[in-house]
Amino acid sequence: MSWGAEQSGSISGSHLPVMALEQQIKLSWKENEEIEVHSLRYTASLPDLPGISWPESSSHLGPVHVRAHGEVNTRLLLPFHRAFVQRIEDWRQGRSVAIRIEIWGSITFRRIKKIAVPDGPKKELAGQVPWQPERHLLEASALEQEQVRLSVNVERDHWISILGVIGFDEFSIFEVPVLSLKRHEQFQKGLAILAQAQSAFRQGQWSTVVTDARRALESAAGMAAPNGDRKAKFEALLAQVLPGVMDEPKRDTLEGLMLALKDLRDHSAHVNDIRFQVEREDAELALTVAISIFRYMGEALARVQGRRS
Q: Which residues contact 286 (CB under 8 A, 6 or more apart)?
A: 209, 210, 213, 214, 261, 264, 265
Region 20-38: mean pLDDT is 95
Distance of alpha carbon 29 from alpha carbon 62, whole angstroms = 15
Region 203-222: mean pLDDT is 91
pLDDT at 176 > cutoff 50: no
Distance of alpha carbon 22 from alpha carbon 75, whole angstroms = 7
Q: Residue 271: its pLDDT value, please?
A: 56
Region 259-283: mean pLDDT is 78
pLDDT tens for 207-216 read 999 999 999 9
Do 252 and 234 form a contact (C-beta atoms < 8 A)?
no
Q: Residue 131: its pLDDT value, please?
A: 61
Strand partners, 72: 27
Q: Looking at the domain 177-308, which fold is it? A: Four Helix Bundle (Hemerythrin (Met), subunit A) (1.20.120)
Region 103-126: mean pLDDT is 79
Q: Kindly report the pTM of this predicted structure.
A: 0.60
Q: Domain boundaries in the chain?
A: 3-159, 177-308
Domain 3-159 belongs in CATH node 3.40.50: no
